[in-house]
Amino acid sequence: MPLLHLDSSEFTKNTQIIVKFKEDVCEETQLEIHHKNKCTILDHNNELNFQVLHSKKDINTLIKVYNKLEEVEYAEPNYMLKAFYTTPNDPLFAYQYGPQKVQAPDAWDVMTSNGNIKIAIIDTGVQLNHPELAVKLWPGYNFVEGDLNPNDGNGHGTHVAGIAGALTENSLGIAGMAPSASIIPVRALDNI
């Protein structure tokens, strides 16, 4: 019997499946089956005796293949389950109208950004030592001065960068719309 049954593919890791072999299937046979299907074992749960597998093959096809094998008790997608996103503990979140206006908290229930996303803030620069932004800044450029120091002397670019990607759940300031994204500071506007 599967651990869980959901029909929606939006809750699955699209390169992972969970496989449970019947008790009498030896480890060597299991490894041969995985090798034949170009799967690698990512994890093994000893308590429930199932394996988490990774493959670059289509997981829906792979699940059908595994479920047809007499050695397999079941195969299913590796479902991603997490508690729904709660209100961020950032003290100024309650005063932010933007996240509610674009329904960001509802989107955060499904997914938050990842570290592969980079957002270029082309503005008055970004405060390079800002506690909500410093750890996520990539090297930027200052087109006003023609150098590599895009530090913000005005505050507007820092404000925009915070809205876009401030750290969230850190008990500071505001919640960024894409809290895991990196920021590339670009100073293209003078500090008026």
Number of residues written out for the chain: 192
Digit-coded pLDDT (tens) for 30-64? 999 999 999 999 999 888 889 999 998 999 999 99
pTM value surpassing 0.85:
no
Decide if pLDDT at 149 tops 60: yes
| Cβ-proximal residues to 182 (8 Å cutoff; 6+ apart), any chain | 115, 117, 118, 119, 136, 137, 138, 165
- What is the rounded distance in angstroms from the CA atom of residue 137 to the CA atom of residue 51? 38
